[in-house]
Structure formats: C-alpha cells, structure tokens
Structure 1
Amino acid sequence: MTNTRAEAAYRRSVTAFKNPTLELLHGRYAPLVVAVLSIVFTADRPAVAVADAHAEIGEAIDQLRAAGYDSDELRLPSGTAREICRYWVRVGWLVPQIDDDVEVYRLSAHAVGALEIAGRASGRGTRVSTSRVRTLMDAVERLADDAETDPAARLARLTAERDALDAEIARLRDGELEPLDDEQLLEEAENVLHLVRELPADFSRVAESIKAMQRDVVTDLRQDVRPTGEVLREYLQRGQHVMESTPEGRAFAGALRLIGDPEHIDRLTTQLRTLLAQPFAGLLGAEQRGELGAIGRRVEQGVQEVLTAQRRASHVITAQVRTHDPIRDRQVDDLLRDVMSGLQAWMQVSRPNDQVEPVRGFPVADIGHLRQSVSDIRPPAAPAPLAAADDVEFLDADTRSWGGPRYQELEEYVLSLGGNFDLGAAFEAATDETRRPVDLLGLLEIAHRNGMIESDAVSVVEARRPDGTSRRFAFGAVTARALKDQKAEDDD
C-alpha cells in the first residue's frame, strides 16, 4: 500500500513534534520555561551553578505567583525549583555537568533553539529586507562560483569583480561617496544579529554530539563488543566526522579559525565599537545594541564550550581504556547472570513470606595445616664455637694482607704515641702494613672507643693498598686520646 502525501507529511510532523525543541514550545508551561531560562541563562552567563539556578528559578516563580499569574489561564508548575529543574534535565532542556569541581547547568541545543524561535516570534526577529536577500544571493553566488569547473568562466567572473572594484576606487578618489541611509544600515545590523543568534545552538549541537559519541564509545568498551583498538579507531573517525562533515562541525571549524587569529578578534571588536558609535545605532533597542557588542564574546564562549566537551570526552575515554579489563568485565557479567538465574529459579518455588538471608561476607577457604618439612632438619646440638683469631692459620701472607683492620698492631701503635694525637698525622706516620684503607677505619674505631674530639678542619691522608696502589681520603679532623691515658684513668 502506497502512503499518500498527507500521511507522509503527517508522519514527518509527528516526528518533528517529538523533538525537545518543539516539545518545549508546545508544552503547558512553555511561557514560564522560556521566560525563566531566558533570564537565568544569558550570553554572558552560559553556565549557572546548580544551587544558584535553583534559588533564582524559585524566586522567579514566587514573584510570578505573587503577581497573580498562577490562574486557570496561566498555570505555573507545582513543586520546588529543584524538582522543576530535574524535570527539565530529564526532558532534555538542561544539561548538568561539572566545571572546576562545581556542578552547573547549561542550556541544551534544543533549549537554545526554542529560545531563539520564541525570540523571533515575539518581534525580535528580522524581517525580509534587502540585506537578508543580498545575503542569500551572495551565498548562492559563492556556491555557484565554488562549484564552477570551467577556468574561463571563473576567470571572467574574477575579471568582472576586478573591474567593479576599480570603478569603485575611481569614484572614491573623485570624492563621489553615497552613504547609505540609517534605515538600510538598520536592516544590515538586524541581519547580523539574526546570523549571530544561530551560533549558540550550533555550538551546543557540536558539544552534545561529542558527548553522545563519548557515551557510545564508553558503552562499546564496557560491553566488550569489539576489540579496544577497533573501538578507538572508530572514535577517531567519528571525531573527524563530527568536526568536518556536519553543519555544526563546519560552523565550529569556521569559528575556530576566527578565534585562532588574534588579529581577527581585534578587528571584529574594533568594527563593532565603531558601528555602535554610528548614528543609526540609536535606532536599535538596548537589547539589540547589547547583542551586537557581545558578538565576539559569544563566539569565544561557544568555542570554549566545544573545546571543553572535547577535552572531557578524551579524558573519559582515556580513563576507560586504561581501566578496561575484558576478562574482569566478563567475569562480572557471568556472575550477574548467575545471580539473575538463581533469583528466577528461587522465585518459582518461593512463597510470598519467604526471606533470603543476605550474604554478609565472602567465604574463606579452609586450607588446614600444611606440612612444614618432610623430616626434622634441626641439628642435634648447637654448633661448635668459633675459634679464636690467634688460632686461625692463613694460607699465605698475601691473603692476610687483604683482610680486615690489624687491630692488634694498631692498638700497640696508638699505645706508643702517648698523650693526645692527631689521627690523620698518626695514620700518615704509621708503617705501610698498617696504612691500608681498612686500617684507617680501624684507627677511627679505636679513637671513637677511647674518646676523641672532632673539629671543623679537614684531614687528608693517603692510604696504600697491598698491591702498591694508593688512595686519598678526606675526613673531619680528629684528636684522639692515647690508650695509656685511658688505662691510667681506669687505674685511678
């Protein structure tokens, strides 16, 4: 059966009215929603803290009720401002997000479009004018020129443009200038405002498309439908598609090229200030003049919104990839399926008053007592004591020369010094057999045991190894006490 044109048009209309934009304008409380959102969210304030939004919206509703607008003809929604905002989030008019660790609300692209439609319907929109028609004709002409593939035709067009510019330059040099009247300039300004009002919705659509792409990528990773590399490749391709192959992406790319050159922004700001100083600007309303002066700021805010959404999406996807564990996720899914199967089986045999004892902890494996050894390896008795150093016989003198400090020789040498002595000088005066690096450590140990005095001076000594090589050491100067002084004090 072939659908009629009326049926096709009606289905398209039904689909269009399911869009949140038309749903907002068609709803019962549409006048309140448009009024409140337009005063809370402005060009200078695209994001509002959740607590502030609740307070301002609640205050606005209370003021309207006090003014008598809560009648049968103009009903106001019941509930608190928090409940109203939650409903607006649920139907897609507000978008909650985190900015600098603060939860804020932003208008969705549907809400921005609805506010623009309501603004045009209330008389703020531009009318059919010369500037609007010229804008359309210029766009069509530029499209035709870009689509032209004949070099001769394009050359003829460029030549005609050059001739027109030369004629205009000649008239200006002759002093012939025909200024436009204020009415025509006013039409041009209204056309500019009309074009600018379309930008916020475009920026919001780009940001929301990036968020939707982020949700899809994270869902695919969590479900482990495909390999991680394949999902990431699709993410990169979709990111390029969003930025280059959609009307919203092209609008953002153009704005990014504009905002990326500081000279463009400076020139735009200067031109806007010059326009607002012209006499025709007095014909614009206060709100229109404010919108005209805020064009540069609105473009910057829109670009920042898209870049923030892109950075947030990259951060979320990167974190998901780093923590993604297909094996663990599959085990969790299997466990949940087992739980659901067990619950379904229990529901078939249980009674209405049956209770399930909750699991208060995971079971612990009981491994009992493990054998420590196959036999008793403890020795039958304590080991024999070590032999005295004097009883140890070395294989040769060379082995003994590479051993530890010669404590007996060092103590005899210190005893022969008498009185206090400088440890560095004493080490330099010792024989070669007791001037090894290890003997310097032994001498310091003896001095510390007998008592020594450290100073800020630095002593430098040269130690000699058994193979004839030498090494210099530096340490804090030490004045040591002789062994006989210590023994004399012990006798006293």
Structure 2
Amino acid sequence: MEQGRAGVDFDSLDWLRRNSPAWRLLRADHAALVLSFLGRVFVEENIRSISAVELAGRLEDELFALNERFGEGTYPRTAKAYLDEWAQPDVGWLRKYYLPGSDQVHFDATPAVERALAWVQSLRARSFVGTESRLNIALELLRQMAFGAETNPDVRLAELRHRREELDAEIARVSAGEVDLLDPSAQRDRYQQFVTTARGLLGDFREVEANFRTLDRELRERIATWDRSKGELLDEVVGNRNDIAESDQGRSFHAFYDFLLSPRRQQEFSDLLARVQSLAAIGELDPRMRGIHYDWLDAAERTQATVRLLSEQLRRFLDDQVWLENRRVMDILRSVEIHALALRDHPMGDLGYEIDGVAPHVVLPMERPLYQIRAKQVLDSGSDADAAPPEVDVSALFEQVHVDPTRLREAVRAALSGGTQVSLPELLAKHPLEQGLAELVTYLSLDRDLTFELVFDERRQEHVRWHDADGRQREAILPAVAFVRRSLPGGE
C-alpha cells in the first residue's frame, strides 16, 4: 500500500471507525459535553493532572448548569459515573492513574480528546484563511531537507554563498532606505499560522507522553516474555536502555526541550512575542499566546518527568526480575543441600538405578528376513466314526477359585461396627485370607459400597502375609489401605 493512500484506504478507515477513541468520541451521544468540558479543563487551561475529587466537582457544576438549561434529566448520571465511563479502556478519553507517593486518583486527557477537538474546531467557518505563510513554511522545509541531507561540500557551499548574496542585497536596500514591510493581511496570515502551530504543540506533548508510555510497555512485554538466557536478557535491555530517548519521538522531543531550556532562545522568543502582540494590524489577539512558551515549558517538563518515572520503574522492574531469578537459584541450591543431608547416612549401594542394558540393541534393515509365502494347510473336515474320542482333562475346570465379595463386605462392615475406619492389616488379623491372592485383590476392589469407602495412602507401604494351599508363606507389598465408614444422610 502506498504511503500517500494509506489514510483513505477502506480497511484502514473501517478499522479506525471501530477502534479509534477519537472517532468514538465524535459518534457519542453526549460528545458536546465531553468535548466542551474536557477541552476547557485540559486544553484551554492546559491542566496536565487533576485530582478526581476536583474534576468531579467541576463536572457536577457543569451538569447542574446543563440540566437547569435543558431540563432536569438531560444528564441524569453523577459526575463520578461519567468520569469512570470516560476512563474505561474501551472508551479511552481519560487516563486514570495514581501519582507517585499518593493514594488519590488523578485524571489526564488522552491524545484522542485533542484530536477530536481539533477536528471539530476546524469545522468552524473562518473569515480569513492565510495561505502565503504556509507556502513559505513549506518551501523553507523543503530547502532544509534538501540541503540538510546534501553530502557534497561544493553544493552546500554554493547554497550558502547564494543565501549570503541575498542577505547582502537586502542589507544594501535597507541601507539605501528601501524597507519592505509586511502588509496587514500578511501579518494576520502569519499570526494565524503561529497560533495554530503553538496550540498544536501543546497537544503534541500529550501525544508524545502517550507514545513514551507505549514504548515503555513494549519494552516491559519483551522482558516479561523473554525465554532465553539471563545474560542475553541483560545484553538486550542494557543495549536498548535508551530505546525511549533514541527513538524518533525521543530525539525530536529532546531537541525541542533543549531549545526551551536555552536562556538566550527564551529571551529572544519573549522579545519577539511582545513585539508581535503590539502590532495593530493583527487585530484581536489570542490570550493564550501571551505565555505560550511557559505552557510549552511546563508541558515539556511534565513529559520529561514521565520519561524519568518510566526509566525508574523499568529499573525497579529489572531489579525485581533479577531478585526473583536469584531467589529461584538459592531455592534450588537449598533443595540440593537438603536432599544431600537426607541421603548422607544411606549406604552407597542403595543410591542407584537399574537400567535395562548397557548397550543398545541395534537391528539393521538388511538383517530382517524377507517376506516368505506361507504354505497352505490342507484341512480334512471328514470324521472317522471308528476313531475313539480324544481324552480331555477337565479337572482344571473344577480348580477355578471364586471369591465371594459379599462375604468380604460383611467382614468389613463387622470391623467398622466398632469404629470409623479399619486398616487392611487389622482386618486380615481378624479374618485371615483363605483364598490367597485372589481374596486380597477382591478386598482391594470393594470400592462400590454405600456404607464404606476404600482409601489408599501412597506415602506408606504395608506388608500382607498369608499361606497358600501348599503351606508356603506368601507376602505382598502394597500402599497403605484403610476402609473408612461413609456418613449416611440422616445418620451419623
């Protein structure tokens, strides 16, 4: 997509219509209330931070005046409800935050409010529209970009000599008494352009601050989702610790801030502004322009403080990350020490593992036999009537062991009649195994009973012994097993 056409692309405009807070504000039913109130507080008065109590009080007065004017119920909600709604993330007209060291909520307008307000103000009809000054500014910007990027010294020297010749010619004309004066329309044109630029700078500071917060959030997300080594993380963060200051937004801001901090530039600006304000051809003056450079300085200082605060928070965030990683390392070392002390008194023969083999069993593809066709077996389905029937030993059918689970359940219930639970060894001490391992397995499967439940404890082991039919002693090692009586509804 071409850069020049990106702003009028259908998909881009449709996305902005659905997601832009400024567009959402223009479509709101009470857009006039939001723009007039927030514009007066945060734009006209240049307030960059105000407590929730003070802002709610001012909004209450505004709502009372509007309800008196247009009828009770025009704006039925409280000021706090309106402010909370405007500060919702899906609305995005106010930024709600806490100042460092304060537990009181503060508000500041978002750049979306200034964008919407600037667009609404541009809809007003203007009696005078200057174009000459903007043309001169455009030409001067093109000249600065063209010759500012020129690497050929001869070309730059030729341009400087040309500008010197123009200055010498102008000096000669002024010395001869020929002074070119701006006519009143040209003065009003340039003053209008100055007011628009000066007011726009104040709005740009709020957007610059928001962009700094976005850069800080992106850096935090990169640190939080880091999945490589700690050394690489430190290299990444230390190598990019000046991401905010070295961004295009940061370099431009610091250049402007250095300009404001220059006493010589401030004095020059104050003198020029006083001289312009005294020109009679300008007519009605903008009252904000008398101290606009102080408003710039205040807004720039607030933005600079935000950058310092974000840098300090980022440093603490990294310190917390390092502290958590060091704590994890210490926990692992302490766990190793505890296990080592617990195994100190065990024989070394017990500390080992059994493996299936010391070498892998390798079967090469060519060692596998090839497919062989099986020989067909001839089946004789005929019967020999004279042949004697084969002898079959059916004694194995009568040697099957059947364990009656009902008898075992009755034994468990009888053992639980005197208590709430009974362990398997205690139960077998009263009712020894008569059918060996099959009876033991049946005990372990008695889990579907309404009067008791079977509980296994994997942390302990028990030994169960019995004698088989040949008189030999058998032993089974299994987790600790207990039968626990259930609490029946309406009973104990």
Secondary structure in 2 matching 1:67 = helix
Distance 1:6 1:38, change over 3 A: closer
Task: Tell me: CA distance 1:313–1:319, structure 2 relative to 1, closer, same or farther (3 Å).
Answer: same
Distance 1:267 1:319 in 2: 41
- For residues 126 and 227 of structure 1, do their structure 2 counterparts lie closer, same or farther at Cα, with a shift above 3 Å needed? farther
Residue in 1 aligned with 2:268?
267
Deviations 1:271-318 (A, max 9, x none): 21221122134x134xx2x23223202221221122111111122122
Indicate if the aligned counterparts of 1:130 and 1:187 stay in contact, CA closer than 8 A.
Answer: yes
| Partners of 2:130 and 2:189 within 8 A in 1 | no
CA distance in 2, matches of 1:113, 1:239: 31
Partners of 1:232 and 1:109 lie apart in 2 by: 33
Paired with 2:223 and 2:329, the residues of 1 have a C-alpha distance of 12
Q: Give the match for residue 95 of structure 2.
A: 95
Partner of 1:34: 35
Shift of residue 21 of structure 1? 1.9
Mapped partners of 1:275, 1:187: distance in 2: 13
Q: Give the distance between the partners of 2:45 and 2:329, measured in 1 at CA.
A: 47
What are the superposed Cα offsets for residues 98-141 of structure 1, whole Å, 9 maximum, x if unpaired?
34635321111222222222222235798341001111111112
5+ residue gaps, structure 2, are: 332-492
Helix, strand or coil at the partner of 2:302: helix
Contact 1:220–1:231, Cα closer than 8 Å, also in 2:
no
Instruction: Note the C-alpha offset of 1:35.
Output: 0.6
Which is richer in helix?
1
Given the superposition, is the C-alpha separation of residues 223 and 28 from structure 1 closer, same or farther in structure 2, using an over 3 Å criterion?
same
Offset at residue 81 of structure 1 (A): 1.3
Shift of 1:185: 0.7
CA-based RMSD of the aligned residues comes to: 3.2
Residue 150 of structure 1: aligned partner: 152
Give matches, 1:69-88, under 5 Å: 76=75, 78-88=76-86
1:161 is aligned to 163
Shift of 1:69: 7.0
CA, structure 1 residues 152+6, in 2 after alignment: closer, same or farther (shift >3 Å)? closer
* 1:238, distance to aligned residue in structure 2 (A): 5.4
Partner Cα distance (2:141, 2:132) in 1? 14
Identity of aligned residues (%): 21
Amino acid at match of 1:81: A
Q: Which residue does 1:317 correspond to in 2? A: 314
The Cα of 1:240 is off from its aligned counterpart by: 3.7
Name the counterpart of 1:114: 116
**Per-residue Cα deviation, 1:202-223 (whole angstroms, up to 9, x for no partner):** 2222222222233344445555
In 2, Cα distance between equivalents of 1:126 and 1:233 = 57
For residues 157-236 of structure 1, what are the structure 2 equivalents within 5 Å?
A: 157-222=159-224, 225-227=227-229, 230-231=232-233, 233-235=235-237
Could you give the per-residue CA deviations for residues 156-189 of structure 1, whole angstroms, max 9, x where no partner exists? 2111110110011111112221221222111101
What is the match of residue 326 of structure 1?
325
Task: Determine if contact 1:110/1:201 at 8 Å carries over to the other structure.
Answer: no
- 2:304 is aligned to 307
Aligned length: 319
Q: Is the 8 A contact 2:130 2:192 kept in 1?
A: no
The whole-number CA distance in structure 2 between the counterparts of 1:45 and 1:122 is 25
Partner of 2:445: none
Per the alignment, in what secondary structure is the counterpart of residue 97 of structure 1?
strand
- Structure 2: how far apart are the matches of 1:232 and 1:70? 61
Contact 1:112 1:200 in 2 (8 A): no
* Alpha-carbon distance in 2 for matches of 1:40, 1:300: 18
CA displacement, residues 435-461 of structure 1 (integer Å, 9 cap, x when unaligned): xxxxxxxxxxxxxxxxxxxxxxxxxxx
Aligned with residue 130 of structure 1, among 129, 132, 135: 132
- Structure 1 residue 197 displacement after superposition: 2.4
Q: 1-side partners of 2:47 and 2:280: how far apart?
A: 30
Distance in structure 2 (CA, Å) of the matches to 1:203 and 1:219: 24
User: Which letter does structure 2 place at the counterpart of 1:307?
Assistant: Q
Letter in 2 for 1:80: T
Q: 2:164 and 2:195 mapped to 1: Cα distance?
A: 30
Query: By how many angstroms is 1:198 displaced?
Result: 2.3
Contact kept, 8 Å, 2:215 with 2:244, in 1: the verdict is no
In structure 1, distance between residues paired with 2:107 and 2:186? 40
Counterparts of 1:125 and 1:222 in 2: how far apart (Å)?
55
Aligned pair in 2 of structure 1 residues 105, 13: CA closer, same or farther (>3 Å)?
Answer: same
CA distance in 2: counterparts of 1:184 and 1:331, whole angstroms: 74
Cα distance in 1 between the residues matched to 2:50 and 2:165: 53
Structure 1 stretches lacking a partner, 5+ long? 333-492
Distance 1:313 1:11 in 2: 34
Matches within 5 A, 1:229-268: 230-231=232-233, 233-235=235-237, 240-246=242-248, 248-268=249-269
Q: TM-score, normalised by structure 1?
A: 0.58
Question: How many angstroms apart in 1 are the aligned matches of 2:58 and 2:329?
Answer: 47
Superposed CA deviations along residues 11-34 of structure 1, whole A, max 9, x for unmatched, are: 011122222122222322222211
The whole-number CA distance in structure 1 between the counterparts of 2:127 and 2:315 is 44
Q: State the AA in 1 paired with 2:77.
A: G
Is residue 46–residue 106 contact of structure 1 (8 Å, CA) maintained in 2? yes
> Separation in 1 of the partners of 2:153 and 2:127?
41
Deviation at 1:327, TM superposition (A): 7.0
Q: Is the 8 A contact 1:47 1:104 kept in 2?
A: yes
The alignment partner of 2:95 has SS state of strand
Matched with 2:11 is 11
Structure 1 residues 97, 279: closer, same or farther in 2, change over 3 A? Answer: same
**Does structure 1 retain, via aligned residues, the 8 Å contact 2:216–2:244?**
no
Q: Trace 1:299-378 onto structure 2 (pairs within 5 A).
A: 299-324=296-321, 325-326=324-325
Which residue of the partner structure matches residue 380 of structure 1?
none
Deviates more, 1:20-29 or 1:268-277: 20-29
CA contact 1:109–1:201 (8 Å) conserved in 2: yes
CA contact (8 A) 1:21 1:114 kept: yes
Kept in 2: contact 1:48–1:106 (CA 8 A) = yes
**TM-score, normalised via structure 2 length:** 0.58
* Alpha-carbon distance between aligned partners in 2 of 1:26 and 1:106, rounded to the nearest angstrom: 21
Task: Provide the C-alpha distance between the structure 1 equivalents of 2:239 and 2:11, rounded to a whole number of angstroms.
Answer: 33
Whether the 8 Å CA contact 2:48–2:299 is kept in 1: the answer is: no
Match of 1:406 in 2: none
Which of 278, 283, 297 is the equivalent residue of 2:294? 297
Q: Letter of the 1:86 partner, please give it.
A: D
